[in-house]
Structure 1
Amino acid sequence: MQIIPAIDLKDKNAVRLSQGKMDSVKIYSTNPVELALSFMDMGASYLHIVDLDGAIHGSPKNLEVIAQIAKDTRLKIQVGGGIRNEETICKYLELGVHRVILGSIALSNPQFAKEMADKYKIIIGIDAKDGYVATQGWDKQEDILAVSFAKEFKDSNIEAIICTDIARDGMLNGVNVEFTKEIAKNSGKFTIASGGLSSQSDVDELYKSHVDGVIVGKAFYENKLDLKMLFCKYLD
């Protein structure tokens, strides 16, 4: 199972939110590059980065920081947040990003997402409120069920799906394992759980449920689990 530490960027700082609410922002590091290097030293192979400013504005806002992380580490970086066109996808890949996450644009134009997946390493981000897809930095709730949206990519060439239960994100109250399993079942794709991870037992439950990967965010920053030990236990 892939254990993927996360860095959410806002104003060039590494932060975390609760349930995606911008007024809940908490800064954990003013040096995201140093933080990424520490993840690599712990044994990480992958790094999940979200440009929160980009998600709100619809275009990249923390390119400089992400470029530096890509340059200074050997991590396989996946980036999401405000990626709405092929030009931005190419820009990130040229910086050394390993794969790109499409969210809002994948919902409004799934054909575009599939076409990009035929050419580049693309992940689909499915974020849900009460089971329904949320977009535009989680500000807008759509009228399509997340599991139905996941089916759209069953026969595509996307690399993976990251699914987030927004109600649990940043709350440290446990991952929605059943939701993750439903996304995996309906998409048939490599599925990465996100939102609510709180302890070692959550990771164990995901592993027993044959979930492919998990994003580790606030649980690490709040010292709820030993990330280095996770990398040793679950080879990624």
Structure 2
Amino acid sequence: MILYPAIDLKDGACVRLFKGDMEQATVFSDDPAAQARAFVEAGCEWLHLVDLNGAFAGQPVNAAAVEAILAACKVPAQLGGGIRDMKTIETWLEKGLARVILGTVAVENPALVREAAQAFPGQVAVGLDARHGKVATRGWAEETEIEVTDLARQFEDAGIAAIIYTDINRDGAMQGPNIEATAALARAVSIPVIASGGVSSLADLIALRDCGVALDGAISGRALYDGALDLGTALAALAD
């Protein structure tokens, strides 16, 4: 199971939100590229990037910070937030991203997800963000009545690389991941699932790894910044 350190970008800085609230942002670094290098030096295999402003704006906002990270680090990186048309997808992949994450358009324009996945095999993931099992879009600001599992199944034959499943109420709250819901989703589809939201300790990572269904990975942010989770120790434990 891959551990993805998270770098969430707001106004050019590396931040963490509390339960997706842009008004409850803690700034951890004003140099995202330096933070990315620190994660790579600790041994991470991937980076998980989010353009928080972009998720609300519907277009890239923190492009300069993302490009600085890509220039500074040689490990593959995936990015979500404000990627809602084919041109933006193409631009980011040309700039060196390994994978784009499509969230809002998975609800509003699923045909685009399918088109992108066919055009760029292995480089398109779907981000499913949920409150109480229902998908939220546009930076988690708009809630739908769509069940996570129902939406995920729509992409079963689309050729997407992964589903990033985030329990919004766990994100940044240091309360542990929603293991039951994540495992249920992974059982419901054959698409690789990456867990996100609430990973606050090594015990959380081990619990996800041993949840009874194979997960592709887990994303952690605040726990790494707060020191509750040591990246090197976590990577070694997962390798074992």
TM-score, with length taken from structure 2: 0.96
Q: Which residue of 2 aligns with 1:93?
A: 93
Q: Which residue of 2 aligns with 1:116?
A: 116
Q: Which residue of 1 aligns with 2:84?
A: 84
**Unaligned regions of 5+ residues in structure 2, if any?**
none
- Give the number of aligned pairs: 236
Q: Which residue of 2 aligns with 1:102?
A: 102
TM-score, with length taken from structure 1: 0.98
Contact map agreement 2:86 2:112 (CA 8 A) in 1: no
Shift of 1:106: 1.0
The answer as to 2:204 corresponding to 1:225 is: no
Q: Within 1, Cα distance between the matches of 2:183 and 2:114? A: 22
Q: Within 1, Cα distance between the matches of 2:186 and 2:108? A: 21
Shift of 1:230: 1.3
Output one character per residue of 1:131-179: Cα deviation in whole Å (capped at 9) or x when no partner: 1000010000011111111111111200000000101110000100111
Report the residue type matching 2:159 in the other structure: N
Aligned to 2:177, the other structure's residue is in SS state: coil
State the identity as a percent: 41
Q: Within 1, Cα distance between the matches of 2:124 and 2:75? A: 17
Report the residue type matching 1:217 in the other structure: G
Contact map agreement 1:148 1:186 (CA 8 A) in 2: no
Q: Which residue of 1 aligns with 2:189?
A: 187
Report the residue type matching 1:78 in the other structure: Q
Q: Within 1, Cα distance between the matches of 2:114 and 2:188? A: 17
Aligned to 1:88, the other structure's residue is in SS state: helix
Shift of 1:71: 1.2
Runs of 4+ in 1 over 4 A off after TM superposition: none
Contact map agreement 2:77 2:98 (CA 8 A) in 1: yes
Q: Within 2, Cα distance between the matches of 1:63 and 1:94? A: 13
Equivalent position to 2:145, from 114, 139, 143: 143
Contact map agreement 2:206 2:238 (CA 8 A) in 1: no
**Unaligned regions of 5+ residues in structure 1, if any?**
none
Equivalent position to 1:130, from 122, 129, 132: 132
Contact map agreement 1:103 1:135 (CA 8 A) in 2: yes
Output one character per residue of 1:104-130: Cα deviation in whole Å (capped at 9) or x when no partner: 011111121011101111000000011
RMSD in angstroms over aligned alpha carbons? 1.1
Shift of 1:225: 1.1
Q: Within 2, Cα distance between the matches of 1:149 and 1:181? A: 16
